[in-house]
């Protein structure tokens, strides 16, 4: 059910201070709870500096869905008043990927010569599937989301629309992967709820079922988060155990990390990947660099000297 109305849509959003997390008094809060409090306060501070107009508020099984718009016309989707932005979209301009992590995710296509079928898990505002529909017009794209409310909001507020080559599915990604179906050349995992990646999608079992849906030479790219001060996401080792090769891309301006899993052991040289990334950027006509985002081979940490993997030469 849609909440709010004309009066709500004309009011800049400034999160109520009563939404701040409560901390126990008299004793230091646990580390995780303190970190969440700091993040919440930082989001409130940013919202105060850059208020946005609220367009839509709606309860859903995944949390409170909030759509807002800034003065430049960018639209934001988030879960809860203090939640991080799940999507940032310029409606009508699919090539303008606003979030740097999404630019890193599509750079994974440099590993694939000619993608025919692409699967996106986690629709959000539809930024990734709409971008791919624009730049790979001959590919068939499936987009899967657990919550029908999210897909409905994407259609109504973010210019997400289906056609003969782009289909949206309301389904649990775990069951979708396990159900017999076509193979994919590219699978992008970007499923997040109010509390992060659903636990059922963060297991080796799910990653192996995802790998099983890859076509020969296919690639899986996943958006994960790193804790401050950590070189890799806690998910990295699970991915390394699930794929023949693992490459990573760390998004410099956020805590995101893109993990890129390959089902085959064929080595791609740095020159090969760079050339392919430059070719794609020219063909797609995008304003951002793909070459600078091409994933590097997974390393446990940057402080292991010559024993660390430094990536293809």
Which residues are the active-site residues?
190
**How many CA atoms within 13 Å lie on the side-chain side of 107?**
29
Distances 250 to 103, 224, 231, 280 between C-alpha atoms, Å: 12, 10, 9, 20
Give the dihedral of Cα atoms 178, 183, 185, 191; nearest 10 deg. -20
| Helix (H) or strand (E) segment spanning residue 265 | none
Pick from 179, 76, 178: nearest CA to 125: 76
**Residues paired with 168 in a beta bridge:** 143
How many CB atoms lie under 10 A from the CB of residue 229? 5
Q: Is the dihedral of CA 275, 115, 197, 44 positive or negative?
A: positive
CA angle in degrees (0–180, nearest 5) for 42-158-233: 45
Classify residue 150 by burial, with Cβ atoms within 10 Å: 0-12, 13-18, 19+: buried
For the sheet with 52-58, list strands across it: 12-13, 52-58, 65-69, 75-79, 85-89
First to last CA, the chain: 54
What is the rounded CA–CA span in Å between residue 62 and residue 287?
Answer: 34
Distances 141 to 72, 144, 285, 305 between C-alpha atoms, Å: 29, 10, 20, 42
Q: What is the CA radius of gyration of the chain?
A: 20
């Amino acid at each position: 059910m849609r909440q709010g109305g004309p009066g709500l849509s004309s009011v800049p959003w400034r999160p109520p201070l009563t939404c701040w997390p409560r901390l126990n008094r008299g004793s230091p809060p646990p580390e995780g709870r303190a970190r969440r409090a700091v993040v919440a306060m930082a989001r409130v501070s940013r919202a105060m500096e850059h208020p946005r107009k609220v367009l839509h508020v709606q309860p859903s099984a995944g949390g409170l869905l909030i759509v807002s718009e800034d003065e430049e016309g960018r639209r934001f989707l988030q879960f809860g008043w203090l939640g991080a932005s799940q999507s940032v979209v310029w409606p009508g301009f699919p090539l303008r990927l606003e979030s740097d992590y999404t630019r890193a995710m599509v750079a994974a296509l440099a590993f694939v010569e000619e993608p025919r079928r692409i699967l996106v898990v986690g629709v959000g505002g539809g930024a990734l599937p709409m971008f791919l529909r624009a730049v790979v017009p001959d590919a068939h794209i499936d987009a899967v989301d657990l919550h029908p409310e999210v897909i409905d909001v994407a259609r109504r507020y973010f210019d997400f629309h289906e056609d003969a080559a782009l289909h949206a599915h309301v389904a649990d990604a775990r069951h979708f992967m396990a159900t017999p179906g076509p193979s994919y050349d590219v699978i992008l995992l970007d499923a997040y709820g109010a509390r992060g990646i659903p636990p059922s999608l963060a297991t080796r079992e799910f990653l192996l079922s995802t790998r099983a849906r890859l076509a020969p030479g296919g690639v899986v790219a996943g958006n994960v988060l790193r804790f401050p001060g950590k070189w890799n996401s806690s998910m990295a080792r699970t991915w390394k155990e699930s794929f023949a090769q693992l490459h990573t891309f760390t998004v410099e301006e956020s805590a995101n990390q893109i993990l890129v899993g390959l089902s085959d052991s064929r080595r791609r040289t740095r020159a090969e990947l760079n050339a392919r990334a430059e070719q794609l950027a020219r063909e797609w006509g995008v304003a951002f660099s793909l070459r600078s985002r091409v994933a590097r081979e997974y390393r446990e940490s940057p402080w292991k000297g010559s024993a660390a993997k430094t990536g293809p030469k």
